[in-house]
Structure 1
Amino acid sequence: MTDDQQILTADQVEAEGLVDWRILFHALHARYRTGDFATALRLVDAVGAAAEEMNHHPDLDLRYGQLHVRLFSHDVFGVTRRDIRLARRVSELAAGLGVRADPSAVQVLEVALDSADPEAIKPFWRAVLGLRDSPLHDELVDRRGVLPTLWFQRTDPHEEPRQRFHLDIRVPPEEAFARVEAALAAGGTLVSDERAPTFWVLADAEGNKACVTTWKGRNQSS
């Protein structure tokens, strides 16, 4: 393993003095307030060119007036010296465009599910949400960075929970049945398909529920 493949600790990252950036879980995050869309596009172009030059590529989330940049080394699933170098370069490019970072705006949502036996229910959630095993922790992750991480909190055995909330996953109609079938094959049960193809209600082996949903049977705006 080379120096560029060594995962840095949060303390090591903090010691680098990256003013624009904050480490959240396994990645560096920066939110740049561009003020308008054209400036954000110029920053995206500049970051893209730098990423190609350095052969290291960030995840970019472009919205009106802002650009969110997420950096981590996918091969080792953590922050390395490669990320530090590119983070400094991105900060320089943003400063050159007169764009300021807003560190107070960065945040990452992680969903925690209490379970006495995570290994028994993890395959269901991997299937129903289309996630992958994390290489580091007892959790499931979306390598595309679209869905939040699902982390399994170990707890004592308990009766079927009365959920105060559950997860709805919206997929294209042509993908819904395959997603339901994958969840059932992974140990899930069908609670109800009365409203299919609008939604199917599924449950994992401990009774935690989730819905696979589509736009069919709804108002066109929902």
Structure 2
Amino acid sequence: MSEKEVLKQADRESQLTHLPHWRYMLGSLRTAFKCSSSAVALELFVEIGALAQEANHHPDVDWRYDTLFVTLVSHDVGGVSLRDTQLAGKISDLAQEHGAQANLNLARTVEIAIDTDDREQIADTWRAALGYKEQADGSLTDPYGRGPAIWFQNTETPNANRFHLDISVPHSHHVDILDGLKEAGARLNYADAPSFTVATDPQGNRLCICTEAGRTD
């Protein structure tokens, strides 16, 4: 298994059994580490940066007060590789040394989904407006990882409300989120669960809670 090739699903899942702080979501490894203070979070941030320089492999790290959100993916090969799983393990070791706790309930990502029966007719408008790049699956993503991705949901019968959010969460934590939605009055459609569960709010607006379970590369 080469360090510079995308891990097959079985190999990736095998690697993740040794990485309890991480989850695979939307083609990358993700986690969030909560520290005892902003100062500790900054120290951990700096040490992750040094580790990345040493490995010549650089994660995306978002520092928010006492919490670091970390994303790992090998952009040059288009997915998660051994470089990512190896660096993830080292980052987890650093986090433990600093007393940081992984909070996977915070490891959520958001895509804006647009129902359309003609993706090609509208995709360039959104790409030009946002400065995004087109991916192999036809989605548009922010090259700097700041804004939510745009996903075009191909359908012959677009919903009257063409926009909805796809919210990806770790499968290990999705039940609590669905329970919270039910308590908030949302209607849930489990037809495609656990890959995604469609939630409709009391006014008819939809969103999807997506997980890595039930999906294949």
Query: What TM-score, normalized by structure 1, do the two folds share?
Result: 0.68
The corresponding residue for 1:6 is 5
The corresponding residue for 2:28 is 27
The corresponding residue for 1:150 is 150
CA pair 104-9 structure 1, distance change in 2 beyond 3 A: farther
1:166 and 1:79 mapped to 2: Cα distance?
A: 27
Q: Which amino acid counterpart does residue 142 of structure 1 have in structure 2?
A: D
Query: What TM-score, normalized by structure 2, do the two folds share?
Result: 0.70
Q: Which amino acid counterpart does residue 4 of structure 2 have in structure 1?
A: Q
Contact 1:118 1:152 in 2 (8 A): yes
Unaligned runs of 5+ in 1: 168-222
Give the CA deviation at 1:103: 1.5
- 1:34-183 equivalence runs, <5 A: 34-134=35-135, 136-156=136-156, 163=161
Give the CA deviation at 1:13: 2.3
Contact 1:10 1:23 in 2 (8 A): no
Unaligned runs of 5+ in 2: 166-217
2:106 and 2:113 mapped to 1: Cα distance?
A: 22
Contact 2:21 2:92 in 1 (8 A): yes
CA pair 82-109 structure 1, distance change in 2 beyond 3 A: same
Identity in percent = 39
Give the CA deviation at 1:94: 0.6
Higher relative contact order (CA 8 A, sep 6+): 2
Give the CA deviation at 1:81: 0.6
Task: State the structure with more CA Rg.
Answer: 1
The corresponding residue for 1:220 is none
Give the CA deviation at 1:162: 5.2
CA pair 28-95 structure 1, distance change in 2 beyond 3 A: same
Q: Structure 1 segments of 4 or more deviating over 3 A? A: 161-167
**Secondary structure of the corresponding residue to residue 68 of structure 1:** strand
The corresponding residue for 1:178 is none
**Pairwise CA RMSD of aligned residues?**
2.1
Give the CA deviation at 1:153: 1.1
1:82 and 1:102 mapped to 2: Cα distance?
A: 23
